[in-house]
Amino acid sequence: MKTKSRPPRRGAPPQDAEAAPGERTPDGSSPDTGPDPSKGVRSRAVRATGARTEGGRRRSGPGPGGRRDSSVQRRLESNERERQRMHKLNNAFQALREVIPHVRTDKKLSKIETLTLAKNYIKSLTATILTMSSGRLPGLEGQGPKLYQHLQQQQQQVGATLGAPEAQPQGHLQRYSTQIHSFREGT
DNA sequence: TAGGCCATCTGGTCCT
DNA sequence: AGGACCAGATGGCCTA
């Protein structure tokens, strides 16, 4: 239910003259950050602004005649920046997906799954370090104790606030492992 | 068909 | 002032 190797979007969005002139690729993606074209690119950007019924709020606009040109232009530029920002965010999500070990390689992790797995992966790594270091971290002489104290404090805080199995290093690993499997099962 | 996920638009607020 | 950030709204696509 999750991953969609989406075919190119059907039902081309209404093309109109309001699309920002010549600054986007036809699919609305940016050249460097756009999604994989093979995955079905959304072509919504062409909608640009205006009293649209699709995507975004309907404009309670200035009525007949529409926005003034300069105002429309600013909105278009703002939309473009927002798209770029979201593309960067999605790139970051993708980068995160690629460093999180997970079982379900056939399906792309959703954003919420990515964040949740990442959080627990970090916790499990922290717990592992804490367990293995025992206060002495090779190569970190001088910093080791500080790091150890820091990790220990974190563990205690988590344990105190949650009163959960996280207090035990194995708790993180267990939870992470469980989560991986639950994602695999699609639960 | 319903629900989940997503991209995009949009206006408001915060920040530089 | 202008850009970044945020959250709400909207509609498309996909899977169960």
Q: Whole-model pTM? A: 0.58
Chain A residues 109-138 within 7 Å (CB) of strand B: 110-113
Arithmetic mean of pLDDT, A37-49: 35
Fold of A66-135: MYOD Basic-Helix-Loop-Helix Domain, subunit B (4.10.280)
Give the model's pLDDT for residue A78: 86
Q: Between these two residues, A10 and A116, which has the higher pLDDT value?
A: A116
Long-range pairs, A183-187, Cβ under 8 A, ≥24: A183/A102, A183/A103, A183/A104, A183/A109, A183/A113, A183/A117, A184/A102, A184/A103, A184/A104, A186/A1, A186/A2
Dihedral angle of Cα A107, A98, A109, A166, to the nearest 10 degrees: 130
Binned at pLDDT 50, 70 and 90, residue A125 comes out as: very high
How high does pLDDT run on average in chain A? Answer: 58
Separation between the CA of A2 and the C1’ of B14 (whole angstroms): 35
